[in-house]
């Protein structure tokens, strides 16, 4: 078995076709007829642009418009006077077209790769793809025709370039395995758009696998099974068929409202960590964002993001959501979420320590700059603010007072924002559950964070395997907390969502329907599954289940019962 990155869901069972790198060798030479060489180069660039345009047309049909744009980007790059101008200048200076192309491309590849930024690194891959394509034209080397692959082919390559994808026929290619690439590389994006299972970053796969051998590419778990036994083939065929059946079935829920079987309507939002995830949320048919974990904007860097940088990120997410609800959680650091440059002192008990809203209220400049960034972005969408880890009413009041200060600063500078921005509480501590009736009077909404609420209610660290047996949202105590929080919100007439992992659990759904939750916020891939699971229950059936469950004394009893009825 070979391990890699699960980059595109599904299972491909088929025969390997290794896509070799073409040997594009040539001997650099000096040319005397530079005009003729320049013409040869321009002809090659024209041929490249024509070919790429055709490929983009075909990708538009098979994968989609956005994916075709990747290839159009290659044409724009080769029309860019900076890049082509440098190549032409080298040719005029006496270099052959091949060497001029290679040198300039390598310079760009080097510059793009050295930034360490993923998006810019992707540009390096694009330039590499362009270089190979034009060199092939100049040298008259024929590229391997993926379009001629027989049905049931698993492509194995160093990387799947955008130009390669043009030849991929979805009915013939059942899997993709590559040596390089990450979740966000072009190979992954294209594989997902084509809905072909893909396992990326499988070390040495182009040499360990050989053309014609049978493999199973499991793009859901990120593994490749070589020389599968008959038993494994049967097992994975069943898995593949179940996966495809569920996928087809789930598609029936796309573009629909989120309704219970008795017609109650719910909001079905997504959890995101970056503005880019907002696109994924929309593609997944999310109806908004119920939790934007802003700490990701603060991680993987050496200094705080500025107010402007944050504003751009929040605004970008708002624009992607086109007026749909966007709940931005203010900085939730500490505990398991470390930000080294903040220099937080090591604590005996970080989960109970100086973190989240507690840290923000003591670091008012940092907090205010985030609040101002959120407020400025609120002019571009339906943005709401949510405070994490609230345990006392004073924290909510202080946070709200700081929002007011941020508002008056912006007013004084004549900057627009949503004057009526909603401010809510993430109810994820035992204390917030107990005082939910008090918090509800002063909040515009609640969102239940069951990941932490479970830990804080059970006094069981969510990352500690030794107490994992206690860490369950189906513990009677946690269910009572959830019920209480929802009740208090309902009584105060404010919306109440759930953004912890439990919101997507099919066993939790009837309970939440019965308790009166109004919004579910889940990861993008869970959206359609949750919509389907909500549609299974009438309110009366859900009430019966909740009634039974709330009379049970142990987690085991509850889970056994729920497993039986879903
Ligand atoms: C939670 O605690 O349930 C939650 C959604 O937040 P996080 O997982 O980011 O702590
Ligand atoms: Mg939390």
Average pLDDT over residues 19-27: 80
Mind listing the pLDDT tens digit for each residue in 437-496?
A: 999 999 999 999 999 999 999 999 877 889 999 999 999 999 999 999 999 999 999 999
- What contacts 24+ positions apart, CB below 8 Å, involve 478-482? 478/450, 478/453, 478/454, 479/511, 479/549, 479/550, 479/558, 480/550, 481/430, 481/433, 481/453, 481/457, 482/448, 482/450, 482/453, 482/511, 482/512, 482/515
- In angstroms, rounded to a whole number, what is the distance separating the alpha carbons of residues 310 and 414? 19
Tracing tokens 């946070």 back to the chain, one arrives at 399
Does ligand 1 lie within 6 Å of residue 473's CB atom?
no
Measure 450 CA to ligand 1 centroid, in angstroms: 7
Per the CB < 8 A criterion, the answer to whether 372 and 315 are in contact is no
Annotate 539-550 with DSSP letters as a single string.
Answer: HHHHHHHHHHHT
What pLDDT was estimated at residue 445? 98
- In angstroms, rounded to a whole number, what is the distance separating the alpha carbons of residues 19 and 148? 12
- Closest ligand 1 atom to residue 388 Cα is 6
Measure 310 CA to ligand 1 centroid, in angstroms: 21
- Average pLDDT taken over every residue of the chain: 93
Ligand nearest to the CA of 389: 2
Average pLDDT over residues 261-270: 98
Ligand nearest to the CA of 473: 1
- Closest ligand 1 atom to residue 452 Cα is 2
Does ligand 1 lie within 6 Å of residue 222's CB atom?
no
Mind listing the pLDDT tens digit for each residue in 39-92?
A: 999 999 999 999 889 888 888 887 778 778 888 989 998 888 888 999 999 999
What does the buried/exposed string (b/e) look like for 179-193 if buried means 16 or more CB atoms within 10 Å of the residue's CB?
bebeeebbbbbbbbb
- Nearest Cα residue to atom 4 of ligand 1: 449
Measure 389 CA to ligand 2 centroid, in angstroms: 7
Does ligand 1 lie within 6 Å of residue 295's CB atom?
no
Higher pLDDT, 256 or 350: 256
Q: Which of 205, 270, 360, 499 is catalytic?
A: 499
Beta strands in 312-365 (DSSP E): 325-329
Average pLDDT over residues 246-260: 96
Average pLDDT over residues 229-251: 95
Residue 43 contacts by C-beta under 8 Å, 6 or more apart in sequence?
Answer: none
- Closest ligand 1 atom to residue 502 Cα is 3
How many helices (DSSP H) and strands (DSSP E) are in the chain?
23, 17
What pLDDT was estimated at residue 144? 65
> Which band of pLDDT confidence, cut at 50, 70 and 90, is reported for residue 163?
confident
Mind listing the pLDDT tens digit for each residue in 498-550?
A: 999 999 999 999 999 999 999 999 999 899 999 999 999 999 999 999 999 99
Measure 457 CA to ligand 1 centroid, in angstroms: 14
Q: What sign does the dihedral 109-113-117-121 (CA atoms) show?
A: positive
Of 204-208, 367-371, 402-406, give the lowest mean pLDDT range.
204-208
Which of 426, 429, 449, 497 most suits a substitution to test ligand 1, by most atoms within 8 Å of the C-beta?
449
Tracing tokens 């006392």 back to the chain, one arrives at 392
Measure 355 CA to ligand 1 centroid, in angstroms: 13
Of 171-185, 234-248, 259-273, give the lowest mean pLDDT range.
171-185
- Closest ligand 1 atom to residue 450 Cα is 3
What pLDDT was estimated at residue 68? 84
∠ CA 325-184-323 to the nearest 5 degrees?
Answer: 15
What pLDDT was estimated at residue 164? 78
Does ligand 1 lie within 6 Å of residue 451's CB atom?
yes
Q: Is the pLDDT of residue 221 over 90?
A: yes
Max CA separation in the chain (angstroms):
92
- In angstroms, rounded to a whole number, what is the distance separating the alpha carbons of residues 467 and 457? 13
Q: Which of 105, 186, 270, 360 is catalytic?
A: 186
β pairing state of 153-157 and 173-178: parallel
- In angstroms, rounded to a whole number, what is the distance separating the alpha carbons of residues 259 and 268? 10
499 in catalytic set:
yes
Measure 472 CA to ligand 2 centroid, in angstroms: 15
- In angstroms, rounded to a whole number, what is the distance separating the alpha carbons of residues 270 and 255? 15
Does ligand 1 lie within 6 Å of residue 454's CB atom?
no
Does ligand 1 lie within 6 Å of residue 523's CB atom?
no
Q: Is the pLDDT of residue 265 over 70?
A: yes
Which of 296, 334, 427, 452 most suits a substitution to test ligand 1, by most atoms within 8 Å of the C-beta?
452
Q: What is the strand order of the sheet 2-3 is part of?
A: 2-3, 223-226, 214-218, 11-19, 153-157, 173-178, 198-200, 5-8
What pLDDT was estimated at residue 143? 66
Does ligand 1 lie within 6 Å of residue 407's CB atom?
no
Q: What sign does the dihedral 304-307-309-315 (CA atoms) show?
A: positive
Residue 403 contacts by C-beta under 8 Å, 6 or more apart in sequence?
Answer: 371, 375, 385, 421, 423
Beta strands in 319-458 (DSSP E): 325-329, 382-387, 422-427, 445-448
Does ligand 1 lie within 6 Å of residue 293's CB atom?
yes
360 in catalytic set:
no
Residue 89 contacts by C-beta under 8 Å, 6 or more apart in sequence?
Answer: none
The DSSP letter of residue 467 is: G
Per the CB < 8 A criterion, the answer to whether 363 and 399 are in contact is no
The DSSP letter of residue 30 is: B
Measure 446 CA to ligand 2 centroid, in angstroms: 13
Measure 554 CA to ligand 1 centroid, in angstroms: 24
- Nearest Cα residue to atom 1 of ligand 1: 449
User: For the chain, which domains are there?
Assistant: 1-20+144-227 (3.50.30.10), 21-139 (1.10.274.10), 262-565 (3.20.20.60)
Does ligand 1 lie within 6 Å of residue 88's CB atom?
no
**Would you say how long the chain is, in residues?**
566
- Nearest Cα residue to atom 5 of ligand 1: 500
Mind listing the pLDDT tens digit for each residue in 96-155?
A: 999 999 999 999 988 888 877 777 777 888 888 899 889 989 998 876 678 788 999 999
Ligand nearest to the CA of 357: 2
Rg of the chain on CA atoms, in Å = 27
Measure 508 CA to ligand 1 centroid, in angstroms: 17
Of 23-37, 158-172, 296-310, 396-410, give the lowest mean pLDDT range.
158-172
Mind listing the pLDDT tens digit for each residue in 328-347?
A: 999 999 877 888 899 888 89
Q: Write out the two tokens for 23.
A: 């040997």
- For 369, the 3-state DSSP assignment is helix
Annotate 90-131 with DSSP letters as a single string.
Answer: HHHTTB-HHHHHHHHHHHHHHHHHTT--HHHHHHHHHHHHHH
What pLDDT was estimated at residue 17? 94
Does ligand 1 lie within 6 Å of residue 452's CB atom?
yes
- In angstroms, rounded to a whole number, what is the distance separating the alpha carbons of residues 325 and 477? 31
What pLDDT was estimated at residue 419? 98
Per the CB < 8 A criterion, the answer to whether 246 and 500 are in contact is no
- Closest ligand 1 atom to residue 448 Cα is 3
């Amino acid at each position: 078995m070979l391990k890699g990155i699960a980059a595109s869901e599904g299972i491909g069972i088929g025969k390997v076709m290794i896509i070799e790198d073409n040997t594009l060798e040539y001997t650099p030479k000096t040319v005397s007829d530079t005009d003729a060489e320049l013409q040869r180069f321009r002809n090659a660039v024209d041929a490249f642009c024509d070919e790429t345009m055709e490929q983009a047309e075909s990708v538009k049909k098979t994968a989609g418009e956005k994916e075709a744009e990747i290839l159009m980007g290659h044409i724009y790059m080769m029309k860019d006077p900076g890049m082509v101008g440098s190549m032409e200048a080298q040719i005029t200076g006496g270099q052959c077209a091949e060497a001029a192309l290679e040198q300039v491309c390598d310079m760009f590849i080097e510059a793009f790769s050295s930034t360490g930024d993923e998006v810019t690194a992707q540009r390096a891959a694009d330039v590499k793809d362009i270089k190979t394509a034009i060199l092939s034209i100049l040298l008259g080397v024929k590229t391997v025709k993926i379009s001629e692959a027989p049905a049931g082919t698993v492509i194995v390559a160093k990387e799947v370039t955008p130009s390669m994808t043009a030849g991929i026929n979805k009915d013939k290619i059942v899997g993709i395995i590559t040596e390089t690439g990450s979740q966000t590389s072009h190979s992954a994006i294209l594989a997902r758009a084509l809905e072909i299972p893909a396992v990326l970053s499988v070390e040495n796969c182009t040499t360990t696998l050989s053309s014609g051998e049978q493999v199973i590419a499991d793009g859901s778990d990120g593994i490749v099974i070589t020389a599968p036994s008959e038993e494994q083939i049967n097992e994975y065929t069943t898995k593949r068929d179940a996966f495809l059946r569920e996928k087809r079935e789930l598609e029936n829920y796309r573009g629909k409202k989120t309704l219970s079987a008795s017609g109650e309507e719910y909001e079905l939002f997504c959890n995101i960590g970056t503005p880019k995830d907002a696109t994924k949320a929309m593609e997944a048919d999310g109806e908004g964002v119920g939790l934007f974990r802003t700490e990701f904007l603060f991680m993987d860097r050496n200094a705080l993001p500025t107010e402007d940088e944050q504003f751009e990120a929040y605004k970008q997410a708002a624009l992607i959501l086109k007026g749909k609800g966007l709940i931005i959680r203010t900085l939730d650091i500490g505990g398991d979420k470390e930000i080294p440059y903040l220099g937080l002192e090591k604590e005996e008990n970080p989960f109970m320590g100086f973190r989240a809203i507690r840290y923000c209220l003591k670091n008012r400049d940092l907090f205010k700059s985030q609040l101002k960034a959120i407020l400025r972005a609120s002019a571009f969408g339906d943005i709401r603010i949510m405070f994490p880890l609230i345990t006392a009413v004073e924290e909510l009041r202080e946070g709200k007072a700081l929002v007011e200060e941020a508002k008056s600063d912006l007013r004084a500078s004549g900057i627009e924002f949503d004057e009526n921005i909603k401010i809510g509480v993430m109810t994820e501590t035992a204390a917030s559950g107990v005082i939910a009736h008090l918090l509800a009077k002063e909040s515009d909404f609640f969102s239940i964070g069951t990941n932490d609420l479970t830990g804080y209610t059970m006094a069981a660290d969510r990352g500690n395997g030794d107490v994992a047996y206690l860490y369950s949202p189906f513990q009677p105590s946690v269910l009572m907390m959830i019920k209480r929080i929802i009740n208090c919100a309902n009584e105060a007439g404010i919306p109440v969502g759930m953004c912890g992992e439990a919101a997507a659990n099919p066993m939790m759904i009837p309970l939440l329907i019965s308790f009166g939750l109004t919004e579910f916020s889940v990861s993008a891939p869970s959206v359609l599954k949750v919509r389907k699971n909500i549609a299974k229950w009438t309110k009366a059936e859900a009430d019966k289940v909740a009634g039974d469950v709330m009379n049970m004394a142990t987690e085991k009893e509850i889970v056994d019962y729920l497993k039986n009825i879903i």
